[in-house]
Amino acid sequence: MPLTIVLLGAILSIACENDTKDIDRLANIKAEEAVDISKDVTVIYSDSAKVKAELKAPEMRVYHDSTGNYEFKKGVLIIFFDEHAKEMQRVTSEYALQKKLEGLTEFRNNVVITKVDGTVIKTEELIYDENNKKYYGSQPITAEYNDGRTSAQGTSFTANEDFNDIRFMNGTAIHYPSSDSQLPSFGN
């Protein structure tokens, strides 16, 4: 009889130890994220029955937590239209995050802005501030203008919504004048 009690006690203590380990493991599991994942997404943004932009992405994640963020881990393309539904510019990036509560949209990794006039702007970071209707970034930026004769670079920047007014910080630019330029000649 004493051997049976010892064996039963050993079995129960092992069972209790496993139960304690399982309880600890379960207690440390974080709650699953509440997220919707959509594939091959096209979203049309309109205001007063006028199309303002079209977003395309291979994947969109919508987080149903306190942030309400939209995340594009596989890249994004946004086409912006003017009041006559003509394309004004495109923004592409390999990653994007819309922070709905903060009114910010971040584009990261190989960000390219292509304007309808042929100007191409490249950076690794582009942030859109919806409240102030401006773009900015703290990463280097380059712009190749549509005239084929002007390029500019900067260590960071701010820009208006349509990228017609870009303010380069620590900027440099190269401009090759045309033969009919009104610039003065030096030494000839």
* pLDDT, average across residues 106-113: 96
Strand partners, 145: none
In angstroms, what CA-CA distances link 112 with 78, 82, 88, 135, 145?
A: 11, 19, 14, 13, 13
- The DSSP string of 106-165 is EEEEEEEEEETTS-EEEEEEEEEETTTTEEEESS-EEEE-TTSSEEEEESEEEEETTSSS
Q: What is the mean pLDDT of the chain?
A: 82
Bigger pLDDT: 7 vs 108: 108
In contact, 80 and 160? CB cutoff 8 Å: no
Predicted TM-score (pTM) of the model is 0.74
> At 34, is the pLDDT very low, low, confident or very high (cuts 50, 70, 90)?
confident
Three-state DSSP state, 38? strand
pLDDT, tens only, 156-170: 999 998 888 889 999
Percent above pLDDT 70 for the chain: 77
Q: Which amino acid is at 69?
A: N
Give the pLDDT score at 8. 46
Contact criterion met (CB below 8 Å) for 91 and 81? no
For tokens 């009114």, name the residue: 103
